Structure 1
Amino acid sequence: MSKIVGLLLVLLITFPAIGLVAVATLLSPAVASCSISGLVVGPIPESLTARSRDGHEVTLDRRQLTHAATIITVGAQTVGVGRPGVVVAIMAALTESTLQMLANSTAYPESTAYPNDGDGSDHDSLGLFQMRPDAGWGIVAELMDASYQARAFFGGPTGPTGGSPGGLLDIAGWHSLDPGVAAQAVEVSAYPDRYQNYQPVAEAILRALIARSSSVGAREDPRVPETTRVVFPLPPGTYNDTSSFGWRTDPFTGKRTFHEGSDLTAAGGTPILAIADGLVTFVGHNGGFGNLIIVEHRVGGDRVASYYAHMWDGGIHVVAGSSVAAGQHIGDVGSSGRSTGPHLHLEIHPGGPSHAPVNAIDWLTEHGAEGIDSGALVRAACVAPAS
């Protein structure tokens, strides 16, 4: 390892641009590795220009985009972050440091000995997210590392601060917050309204860095129709919402894990309905999902994928490549795969299969889905999780 580090230092001194790429490739998590959310960083462009919400033009160089790539990959490897959390993190880093790894020669002279993009002057703050050692974010050596700062910002059970100070995943209900408000909840800035301004820039960075490296299904099939309506996937009066999107105790391991779907318990054989007009893009057995159907839709012009899991053999009534209508009977409730009893595991992925899921019940409610049984959703707290 020491030889690798020595080589990288030579590269950084002799060929700064090449050195940055080498560091990102060999030492940073911003390499193609395990991605939970499907966000995989592709080739990093030399520069990117985008406009902030107030119309200000922001131009970022390869070095800044390499830091963004690190944030994206750490987020992709962290359960519960997904695309929304990555956007929040990039917004925060843009606001705090313009995506630069800043030393602080006044407060911490030793910080200048670490690879950095310049000298900051915000009190005793360091790095991409301007984190303070005295606030408990970490020691100087840790905070001068982009991947550590990203892990600290995301926080959660695997975060390095143990929840104090809290990262994004330690904030209850962060998914429902405006991204700028969520960023402020982590940063606790004296200027809380700054973060929203950088959301368009963060979205542009994410599109630029993952556009050429998304997983299967990234190219939208022209046959995917614009839907005429949105419906709930089970008939009213047939289900209870037992284990919705978010952190929970896994019924198999007993450990706290992030659940990316909504579990709707129902009697075996209960009809499963397509949530919108769409194109069936996957049918078959898929690991813990058991028997799975994936349907892709266009809702209000936006691409969306819906997942329907755990059907028994013989409980699937569509084939890949077929078109379906909203409310069409596509399968029957079962308990295949990683399941403790008959139920539908439903996931909604705005952007398509390669994008992170959101709270399916919230998404259906926000889109005015027909047939929602509000009583069943209210009763959810009284029923044990299914899987």
Structure 2
Amino acid sequence: MPFTHLLESFLIHYLERFSDACFCVRLRDKTYTIGAGEPLFTIHVKQDIPKKELLTSAELAMGEAYMRGDIDIEGDLFTALCVLLPHFSKDSIDRSALSKLFHASTKKSDQKEQVASHYDLGNDFFKLWLDKTMSYSCAYFKKEDDDLFTAQHQKVDYILEKLYLKKGMTLLDIGCGWGFLLIEAAQKYGVKGYGCTLSKEQWAEAQRRIETLGLQDLVTIDLIDYRDVARSGKTFDRIVSVGMIEHVGRPNFPVYMGDASDMLKDGGLFLLHYISGQDERATSAWTRKYIFPGGTLPSLREIIHIAYDEKFRVIDVESLRRHYYKTLMHWYGNFQKAKPQVEAARGTEFVRMWDLYLCGCAASFYVGNIDLHQILMTKGNNNDLPLTRWY
């Protein structure tokens, strides 16, 4: 590792460790080649990044530099992120300097604000790049060329099939978003659905959908914390939660699972669909600062462990990692088409932040930094279910 590069720029010195792939870095009219072979992309450094920031969190420092336009990627952003992100995930982070990010409050009032900071950006914003179902979670692709709308319908159908619903059952959706899953369950299975969300925007759109379809007798969605639903004493035959546990914070994982157990009737089914981390460390300072304040990815092993501390029995676990990669690439493509409109309303830095978020998440799933798991559990034993997953 040439010492001269350290004198010229600590960033160049830092990036020289990423030599398992070939790329170029252009800084002050000089071009440096990292690795051997044909360069896959070029990082154009318009403003150097201080050493202190890189040592605190290189991912955060370079993410912020990209948002400001201090660095740019010449070539395919997805390819660049597939090279860079695995290295960032292995780097040490100065957690004392970023203590507020990694020790976010888990109080109800603070978590409501955290949720609102992302999901209350506006229904009009999300409608620009989500499909018509307004599903903001991993789709399910039965065929390589399924479009996003089809894949989101298939995801919901797949979840409802796993829940083995029967007419007249009650179904709780914890963190129900815009209500699509509950609406489908009511229309296709005749179940009575109840959902909770902390997003005012999602709640308002869900109410409009329910009223438009005339489902007020079958679907109810409240603007309420899941903990307050549990305290109300309500119980359900089935519970589903899609992409919600990531927002409760590690100290609250046992609370969340305990409340789910309390709300589920004996023998009932609980399907937990969530983004999972490879271990129990919170590593993405940039995501916690700019995208999901307080967000924490549970590992598969810790959720299984907590489940058995309650009355749950795990009967099925499935990884949908590659499905989420495909989902995010659809969202990223849709966002590119809407970019002029978003930039006019929210500015260039916001657009570059969301480019990095959507494309970076797709890359993270693709390279295996993160995963997506569906865990199906029963409360206690249930010997009345079909013998195979394919019921």
- TM-score in same-fold range (> 0.5): no
TM-score (norm 2): 0.30
TM-score (norm 1): 0.30
Greater length-normalized contact order (CA 8 Å, ≥ 6 residues apart): 2
**Counting helix residues as a fraction of each chain, which structure ranks higher?**
2
